[in-house]
A and B are shown apart, each in its own frame.
Chain A
Amino acid sequence: MSGLQIVNGLAGLLIVTSLLVVVARKPSQSAKFYALQSLVLVAVFVALGSATNAPQLYVWAAVAFVTKVVLVPVIMARSFGRLSDERLGSGERISPAVTVLLAAVVVLLCTLIISGVTLPAAAGIKPALAISLAHFFFGLACIVTQRNILKQVFGYCLMENGSHLTLALLAGSAPELVEIGITTDAVFAVVIMVILATQINRKLATLDADQLTTLKG
C-alpha cells in the first residue's frame, strides 16, 4: 500500500470518529472521542509528511498532538463534566441513524465535487480531500442538528479539523507560522466557547440552544 493510500484510509477513519463524537450520549464522552479523532488527524499528518516527503508536516503533527489530542479535550472534559441540563435530554433534532445516513450523503456529495478539481496538488489524495470537505460540512450539520450548545462546540471543532486537513493536503508547504496562527485561534475559540457556555449554564440553567431565543426581530 502506497503512502498516499494510507493517508486516504486514515482520512476515512476521521468520519467514523466524528460520528462517535456526534452521537455520544454525554459531552464529556464526546471529548474523549474528539481526542481519538484528533489522534487520527495527527496520524494523517505524519503519513502525509512521509508520503510527500514534507518534513514540516511533522511539526504540524506535533502541534496538533499537543493542542488537539491533549489540551482541548482535557479542557472540554473537565469543564463539560460540571455542566448539566436535565430537561434537555439527548438534545438531538435527528436520530443517530439519520445522522449516519446524513454523513454518508455528505461524503458522497463532497466526493462528486472534489472529482472535478484539477489542481496538481490534489492528484492522488482526492478521497482524503473529499473527506476533509465532508468533515467540514459534517461539523456544520452537527451545529445545526444539535440543540445542546456543548455539542455545538464539538461541531465547530469538527469543522476546524476538516479545514485543518484540507490545509495540510493542499497547503502543506505553507510557512509553519501560518499553521501555528490557525491552531492558536482554534484553541482560543474553544476556550472562549467553554467559558461562555459555563456562564450561560450558570446564569440561565440551560444548555439548550432553543432556550436562547429572547432576542428576536
Chain B
Amino acid sequence: MVASDLPPLLLLSPLVFALVIFAMPTSGRSARLIELLHLVSIVGTLVLALTTVGYVLSHGTLVTFGDWLMVDPLAAIFVGLIGVVGCLTGFYSIGYIRHDVAHGELTAVKQKLYYGFFNLFLFTMLLVVTANNIVMMWVGIEATTLGSAFLVGIYGKGTSLEAAWKYLIICSVGVAFGLYGTVLTFANASASIDPHQAVLWTSILAHAQDLDPTLVKIAFVFVLIGFGTKAGIFPMHAWLPDAHSEAPSPVSGLLSGVLLKCGLFVIIRYYAVTMKAIGPEFPQSILLVLGVLTVAVSAFLVFVQHDFKRKLAYHSIEHVGLIVIGLGVGGPLGIAAALLHTINHSFTKALLFCGSGNVLQKYGTRDLRSVKGILRTAPVTGLFIMAGALALAGFPPFNVFVSEFMVFAAGLDAGYPKLMILVALLFTITVAALVDIIAHSVLGKAPENMEKSDSSWLSLAPMGVLLALIMVFGVAMPRPVGDILRQATGIVMDQGHATATATPIEHVAAKK
C-alpha cells in the first residue's frame, strides 16, 4: 500500500461499513452480526487513524487526491482523536445499546440505524479534519450535523425530538454563516491566485499576504460565528446542552469529546490564515473576548444544573471556552496549550459521559438529587466517575491539570494577569460543582434495596482505557504527542517547522 492511499482509505472505511450496516436485514439474529461489523469498522478506523498519524510524524505532511485531502500534524491530532475516542465510545456503545434494546427503549431497527449513523458520523468528522479544500471542510461540518441529528433524537421521545430539532436548526443556520465565510475567503483568494488553487487551504495560507485585509476580517467573523456554533462557543451554544443530554451517552461522549473539536479545528485553520494575512491582534482579541464570555456564562450554568448530563454539557462549553482563550492568548505556548487541552478534555469528557450512561442505566434517572452512593451500588463505575470528575476539575496528577496550567501560564506570559485571575476564579465554581458530584452522588448514602451490581465489562473496559489515557497524559505525556503538538503549533504560527519552540511540557518546566 502506498502512503497516499491512507487518507482516502481512512475516510472510506467507516463510510463503507455504515452503508453495509444500513443495508443489513433486521431480524433478531442479524443484531450480533451488525455489532460485529460495527466493531470491525471502529477498530479498523482506529488502526488506520493511528497509522496515518504515525506516518505524518515520521515522514511529514500527507497530501493526496489532487491536494484535496491533507493530513498535516495539526490534522493528525484530530485524526488521532477521532480514531481513539471514536473507537472507545463505539465499543462502549455495544453494551449500552444492548441494554437499551433489552429494556425496550430501542427497537432492533433503531439499533441497526444507530450503528449505521455512528459510523457515518465518524466518516463525516474525518472528512472535516482531512480536508484541504475549504469548501469540502464546510461540507464535512454540515454533514456532521446531518449524521448526528438522528443519533440525538434516536429515542423518539418528545424531549429527544425537541433536542434533535433545535440541534439541526441552530447548527444548520450557524454553519450557513460558515459557508459565507468560506465563500468570501475563496473569492478573496481567487482574486490573486488560480481558482483551482484558491479553494485549497494550503494555497490560501501560502498567499495570505495577498488577501484583501477587510474581507479577511469579515470572513473570520463569519467563520467564527458559523463553526463556533458547532464548537459550542457562547452565544451560539444553545443547542449543546439539549443535544448532549438527550443523545445516548456514548454519542454524548463523541459529540462533546470530538465533534466540538472539529468545529474548533476549522476555526484554527482560518485563524492561521487570518493571523498571517492581517496579524494576530484582530483575531486574538475576538477569541479572547468570546473565550472569556463562554467560560463566564457556562461556569454558573454548570453549577445550577441537577441533570448529570446537562452539567457535563455545560462543562464542555466551559472547556471549549478555555481552549478558545488559549488560542486567543496565542504564541507558541498558548496554541500548544489549546491543542493539548483539546486532547485532554476529549478523553476526560468521554470517560464521564460513559460514566453517566452507566449511572442512567443503573438508577433510571440523570437527576443528581436522586443519584446517591454510586460507589456502593456500582463500585467500578463510581471509581471511574470520581477519577473523571477530579481530572475534569483540574487536579493533578490528571491530564487536564497539565493543559489548564499551560493555558494559564501562557496567559500570564502574554501579559494578561487580570484576565487569567478572573478565568481561574470562574473555574473554581466548576470545581465546586464537580466536588459536589463526588460528595453526594459518588459517595453519599446508597438507596436502600438497590442491589450492588456494576455494568458489564463491555461498558467498563473502554472506560478503563480512557482513564489510563488520562493518567498517562497527566503524568508522562508520550514523546510523539509532544512532537506532533510542536509541529502543529508551528503550522498555526506558520513557521513551517517550529524549531523555535520547546515541547509544551519543557516550556512549562522551564517556567517553573
Q: Which residues of A line the B interface, CB within 8 A? A: 116-122, 136, 140, 143, 149, 152, 156, 159-160, 163, 166-167, 170-171, 173-175, 178, 181-182, 184-185, 188-189, 192-193, 196-197, 199-200, 203-204, 212-215, 217
Contacts of B310 in A (CB 8 A): 217
Partner among B157, B161, B187, B196 whose Cβ is within 8 Å of the Cβ of A196? B161
Interface centre among A120, A159, A215 (most CB of B within 10 A): A215
Q: Give B194's nearest chain A residue, CB to CB.
A: A173
10 tightest A-B CB contacts, nearest first: A170-B187, A173-B195, A181-B139, A178-B135, A212-B162, A185-B142, A215-B242, A163-B179, A159-B176, A171-B186
Q: Are B176 and A175 closer than 8 Å at their CB atoms? A: no
Q: What chain A residues lie within 8 Å of B146 (beta carbons)? A: 185, 188-189, 192
B183 touches A171 (CB 8 A): yes
Q: Interface size of B by Cβ–Cβ distance < 8 Å? A: 51
A136 touches B180 (CB 8 A): yes
- Verify B187–A119 contact, CB threshold 8 A: yes
User: What residues of A have a CB within 8 angstroms of the CB of B436 in the complex?
Assistant: none
Q: When the two chains form their complex, are residues B172 and A189 in contact, meaning their CB atoms are under 8 A apart?
A: yes
Given known A192-B149, A214-B159, A217-B310, contact A140–B173 (CB-CB < 8 A): yes
The stretch that binds A, out of B17-25, B163-171, B399-407, is: B163-171
Give the shortest distance, in Å, between B68 (CB) and chain A (any CB). Answer: 8
- Chain A residue nearest to B161 in the complex (CB): A200
Q: Is the CB of A156 within 8 A of B166?
A: no
B133 to chain A: which residues have CB within 8 Å?
A: 178
Taking the closest CB of chain B, its distance from the CB of A135, in whole angstroms, is: 11
Interface residues in B173-208 by Cβ distance below 8 A to A read 173, 176, 179-180, 183-184, 186-188, 190-191, 195-196, 198-199
Interface of A is mostly: helix
Q: Nearest CB to that of A215 among chain B residues?
A: B242
B353 at the interface (CB under 8 A from A): no
Q: Known contacts being A178-B136, A203-B158, is A212 close to B176, with CB within 8 Å?
A: no
| Beta-carbon contact of B173 and A156 below 8 Å | yes
Assuming the contacts A117-B215, A203-B161, asked whether A196 and B168 have C-beta atoms less than 8 A apart, the reply is: yes
Chain A: which residue is nearest B314 at the CB level? A217
Q: B150 interface residue, CB < 8 Å from A? A: yes
Q: A163-B180, A178-B136, A204-B158 are in contact. List 19 more A-B contacts (CB 8 A).
A: A116-B214, A119-B187, A121-B187, A136-B176, A159-B173, A166-B183, A170-B187, A173-B195, A174-B198, A185-B146, A189-B145, A192-B149, A192-B150, A197-B165, A200-B165, A203-B156, A212-B166, A214-B158, A217-B305
Q: Is the CB of B162 within 8 A of A217?
A: no
Task: Show 12 A/B contacts (Cβ-Cβ < 8 Å), sorted by A.
Answer: A121-B190, A122-B187, A149-B165, A170-B186, A170-B187, A174-B135, A182-B139, A185-B143, A188-B143, A189-B172, A192-B146, A215-B162
